Structure 1
Amino acid sequence: MARVLRYIEYFLGRLLYNVKGHDSLLFTKQEPFKAIPRNIDVVAPEIGPEGAQMGNEYSMFGGSKFPELTWSLAPQAGSSILAKDEIKEYILICEDPDAPIPNMVSLHGIYYSIPPEKTHVASDDISLDSTVSVKSANHDNGARNKAKWLKGGFRLGKNALGTVYGGARPPVGHGGHRYFYQIVALKEKLDTSRLSPVATKPEILDEIRGKVVGWGFWYGVYENKW
């Protein structure tokens, strides 16, 4: 049965092969970023430069390891140079714009309230910190309304699967998918009282309006080969 399902997946992957490239729907392509140049450099030292192939360990087939990421202010970004003291917190979001569904990107992870002094994340950071439990002030009490903090010292947002993070998982036969790890710098902290305890992407996008001072990304490629 598993082999039959894989054949079906391969057939659909080939049929929808050209349904990809929804880059305009990426988080950092939206309205709050229109006047802000790409002014943050993001690197993934364990994997390589932008466009590098991601190993199986970074996929759902190999454990969904979160890639090590480091970011810094770009030395020059057009006429805009960002100062460190402007940044009050960061957001990190991972998306796949090559999902074979029209007008959609696949959200693999979203994290917010990242302290301004933190410019590096590793796989261990992207796991729940069970020692921290914070109830949202603007929601009824109950376990389902608790904010979720990660071991890296920041908060978890809601991804497509309702998990902490989902590794690369393109359909077999659909070719390589690009996974964009986007960093957003804010000049004001998010007002988390306006967000769900585990905030959604639309909520965060609405809350960052007028607060963005910088952004950048790194992307890797993973292909689910036959």
Structure 2
Amino acid sequence: MSVPSPKNHQPTYLDDRFPGPDPYGPLTDLPTFTVTSDDLTDGARLAGAQLGGNDISPQLSWSGAPEDTVTYAVTCYDPDAPTGSGYWHWAVFNIPASVTSLAAGVGDDELIGLPEGAVALRGDCGRRGYYGAEPPAGHGPHRYIFAVHAVPTRLSIPDRSTPTILGFNLNFQASARALIWGWAEN
């Protein structure tokens, strides 16, 4: 019997404050790389700009992805939403490999700041832009996990698809995943 290798996925976002599961636990274990932000600190409370009503997507930068990366996908997901399926706040894919950062606010409803070729899907709020954190009052703190996936190909996903379809495709096609998260409570 072989001993399984240690998982690359070492979640920092698991603790007893949050009611939801580890959304990346059951997915394909992928190598990681580095993602940072000028607007959020990993594991810290989200700033007002990233909350619902303000809806300003945070600045994100990444490095160390596999050399064969052709595109990136960026998502924001709340696994603690009282839905049984979490809540998608943002989903963008086919970001060219030459792009290794997104400025704050590129996830606005006009999507003007997204790199050429990038595709934004409608999140659970029905918008293609970033929808800020807005957990139900009294439900406790929620995690908002920003994932950057490195993909060795362009994804052929219709722009009317859901973030769940994107996530399914990323599970089988991404070559690496980097995570950064914050939390909010109302």
Aligned residue pairs: how many?
A: 168
Give the distance between the partners of 1:41 and 1:53, measured in 2 at CA: 20
Look up the match of 2:159. Answer: 197
> Is the 1:124–1:152 Cα contact (8 Å) retained in structure 2?
no
Look up the match of 2:14. Answer: none
Give the distance between the partners of 2:132 and 2:92, measured in 1 at CA: 15
Give the distance between the partners of 1:128 and 1:168, measured in 2 at CA: 16
Q: CA deviation at 1:215?
A: 0.4
Give the distance between the partners of 1:151 and 1:206, measured in 2 at CA: 26
Tell me the SS of whatever aligns to 1:152.
coil
Unaligned runs of 5+ in 1: 1-17, 74-81, 130-148
Q: CA deviation at 1:114?
A: 0.4
Establish whether residue 161 from structure 1 lines up as the match of residue 108 from structure 2: no
Unaligned runs of 5+ in 2: 1-16
Q: 1:12-91 alignment to 2 at 5 Å?
A: 20-23=19-22, 26=23, 28-31=24-27, 33-34=28-29, 36-37=30-31, 39-48=32-41, 50-61=42-53, 63-73=54-64, 83=66, 85-91=67-73
User: Could you tell me which of 86, 90, 99 is aligned with 2:81?
Assistant: 99
Look up the match of 1:137. Answer: none
> Is the 2:35–2:63 Cα contact (8 Å) retained in structure 1?
yes
Alpha-carbon spacing, 1:30–1:117, altered in 2? closer, same or farther (3 Å): farther
- Which of the two has greater helix per residue? 1
Between stretches 103-112 and 209-218, larger displacement belongs to 209-218
Alpha-carbon spacing, 1:222–1:204, altered in 2? closer, same or farther (3 Å): same
Q: Which has the larger radius of gyration?
A: 1
Look up the match of 1:177. Answer: 142
Q: CA deviation at 1:123?
A: 2.7
> Is the 1:41–1:72 Cα contact (8 Å) retained in structure 2?
yes
Q: Deviation per CA, 1:116-160: give whole Å up to 9, x if none.
A: 01111123322355xxxxxxxxxxxxxxxxxxx652211111210
Give the distance between the partners of 1:124 and 1:53, measured in 2 at CA: 18
The aligned amino acid for 1:41 is T
Give the distance between the partners of 1:171 and 1:201, measured in 2 at CA: 21
Q: CA deviation at 1:53?
A: 1.2
